[in-house]
Chain A
Amino acid sequence: MTTRRLPAARATVLLLVVAVAAVLAAGLHGGPASTTGAAGDPIPAPALHGTTLDGGRFDLAEARGQVVVVNVFASWCGPCRDELPLLDDIARRWSPYGLRVVGLNLRDGPEAVRALLSETGTTGLTVLPDPDGTQAVRWGVRGVPETFVVDRDGRIVARRPGVVTQEWLDQRVTPLLRAA
């Protein structure tokens, strides 16, 4: 009896093992990719407007024709402090080629942000306060810092959760400036 059943049992086990392995491999392979938040097809950028920290007015819709880097940051976020000088630097250097950088300040107080900007030497940055965080949620922000690149047609073409690097900005922003 046992000897006759054995081949069928072994075939079943083999099939199941292959099926489980395939599903596991597919799951492991596909899982992290879907959570990287890397930009797939460009999507229209949600609205972003309001009174800036220095009392001016910012409206993303009026920045059409420019490349806009939207950086979501807060004074209570350590890594944000490190990347602000880099963002301020590209804002100054690349603005002649059609770049705007705007900091969306998530759930923060104006005094705390001003202190952060002055400590990091980035008082020139355009900062849009988002005291209740709802503008950030409209953009699907998952945490701070997070950075979006909006092209000249108002579409989000890149997003980066976490700290931005010069290399990432070179890769994602400079080609858009060149296309001017």
Chain B
Amino acid sequence: MSWRRLLGVLAVAALLAGAGTGLLRSSAPDPDTDPVRTIAAGLRCPACQGESVADSQSPIAAAMRQAVADQLARGRSPAEIRRWFVERYGDEVLADPPARGLPLLLWAVPALALLGAGAAAVRTLRPPRRRASAAAAVGSAPAGVAARRVWWLSCAAVVALVAAVAVVAGRLEDAQPQAPPADPVAVTLQLARELEQQQRYDAAAELYRDALRELPDDGVQLRLAFALLRAGDAAGAERTAREVLTRSPDSPDGLLVLGLAQRSTRPEEAPQTLRRFLTVAPRHPAAEEISRLVDG
């Protein structure tokens, strides 16, 4: 055995011995360990990256250690405590979660792929045996070159495919709707209408204001004006209706609310506004009552 080979064997032996000792030390249970620490070491801190509950300084990890201690004091077994945490945080709270289903496949497939591809690569890429090359000196060389080209192309394709999947899958994830499609403004408006039906006009006006902040809309502003009028805030109703009338001077509902509000704020102008309302919208559901009001 040459000195070089001997050196190599010695180095490998030393490495193997070191690895074996390390493995034994880390796997052997220490009889003096604090039971809280042992259980906490088997739990992953949910607020940190790659730290156990035993090692993390985060307040949540400290609270989890306290929860472990409390439960041990109540006489629960380590398995029961771990189950208690899994119920709250899921399997991923365990530092060594049971691999099953897709996670198991995620480990197995790349390993099998590496093994298979490696074996196939060795068969194709190794230099042709002298015997074979002697037998077909001219014929086999181009075939070998072609095979190698195919291999390099395949390797490039694999890398490209994995990169593409990584990029595209991330985008697909982003494209997923994050929440059920509920329109918050529509919900607010619905709530406000129901409050109006319950004659809680102040609260309804408040919600209409919320909705207006999100969605400036004349229809919503007029509902706000109506709610203010019914809540007894004639000045507020007049101001709100005037804002709508500045944008659309012939808005029937705008004229209606303004006229009704003016009956409290400036009674002398009210009949004129209400008559204009009747001219603009003679078939409005409120027209009949308003004409009685004006004429009477």
Chain A binding surface SS class: helix
Mind listing 7 A-B residue pairs with CB under 8 Å? Answer: A1-B140, A16-B117, A136-B63, A137-B63, A137-B64, A143-B47, A177-B191
C-alpha spacing A58/B128, complex, angstroms = 82
Q: Which of B117, B157, B194, B203 contacts A96 (CB 8 A)?
A: B203
User: How close is A105's CB to chain B, nearest CB, in angstroms?
Assistant: 11
C-alpha spacing A151/B157, complex, angstroms = 52
User: How close is B170's CB to chain A, nearest CB, in angstroms?
Assistant: 7
| Interface pair A29/B169, CB less than 8 Å apart | yes
Using an 8 Å CB-CB cutoff, how does the interface string of A19-43 with B read, 1 for contact, 0 for none?
Answer: 1110111111110111100000000
Knowing A21-B162, A27-B102, say if A107 contacts B63 (CB, 8 Å).
Answer: yes
Using an 8 Å CB-CB cutoff, how does the interface string of B88-105 with A read, 1 for contact, 0 for none?
Answer: 111010000000001001
Q: Which of A29, A93, A142, A167 contacts B184 (CB 8 A)?
A: A167
**Is residue B15 contacting chain A, with contact meaning CB distance below 8 A?**
no
User: How close is A35's CB to chain B, nearest CB, in angstroms?
Assistant: 7
What size tier do the contact residues of chain B reach?
35 or more
Segment with Cβ contacts to A, from B25-33, B106-114, B243-251, B256-264: B106-114
Q: Which residues of B contact A13 (CB under 8 A)?
A: 117, 120, 154, 158
- B→A interface (CB under 8 Å): 46-47, 58-60, 62-64, 66-67, 70, 88-90, 92, 102, 105-106, 109-110, 112-113, 116-117, 120, 123-124, 128, 132, 140, 143-144, 147, 150, 154, 157-158, 161-162, 165-166, 169-170, 172-173, 176, 179-180, 182, 184, 187-188, 190-191, 194, 200, 203, 206
**CB-based nearest B residue for A107:** B59
Q: Which of B58, B112, B169 contacts A28 (CB 8 A)?
A: B169
For window 2-23 of A, CB contacts with B under 8 Å fall at 2-3, 5-6, 9-10, 12-13, 16-17, 19-21, 23
**Is residue A69 contacting chain B, with contact meaning CB distance below 8 A?**
no
Using an 8 Å CB-CB cutoff, how does the interface string of A158-180 with B read, 1 for contact, 0 for none?
Answer: 00000000111011001101100
Knowing A25-B169, A142-B89, say if A171 contacts B67 (CB, 8 Å).
Answer: no
Q: Which residues of B contact A30 (CB under 8 A)?
A: 102
Knowing A17-B157, A20-B113, say if A6 contacts B147 (CB, 8 Å).
Answer: yes
Q: By the criterion of a CB under 8 Å from any partner CB, how many residues of chain A are at the interface?
A: 55
C-alpha spacing A29/B102, complex, angstroms = 12
Q: Which residues of B contact A23 (CB under 8 A)?
A: 102, 105-106, 109-110
For window 109-156 of A, CB contacts with B under 8 Å fall at 130, 132-134, 136-144
**Is residue A102 contacting chain B, with contact meaning CB distance below 8 A?**
no
- A→B interface (CB under 8 Å): 1-3, 5-6, 9-10, 12-13, 16-17, 19-21, 23-30, 32-35, 74, 76, 93, 96-97, 106-107, 130, 132-134, 136-144, 166-168, 170-171, 174-175, 177-178
Q: Which residues of B contact A19 (CB under 8 A)?
A: 109, 113
| Interface pair B70/A134, CB less than 8 Å apart | yes
| Interface pair B102/A24, CB less than 8 Å apart | no
| Interface pair A2/B191, CB less than 8 Å apart | no
Q: Which residues of A contact B173 (CB under 8 A)?
A: 28-29, 32-33
User: How close is B149's CB to chain A, nearest CB, in angstroms?
Assistant: 11
C-alpha spacing A32/B178, complex, angstroms = 12
| Interface pair B187/A174, CB less than 8 Å apart | yes
C-alpha spacing A55/B170, complex, angstroms = 49
Which 7 pairs, one residue from A and one from B, show the smallest C-beta to C-beta distance?
A133-B63, A170-B184, A140-B88, A28-B169, A142-B46, A143-B47, A16-B113
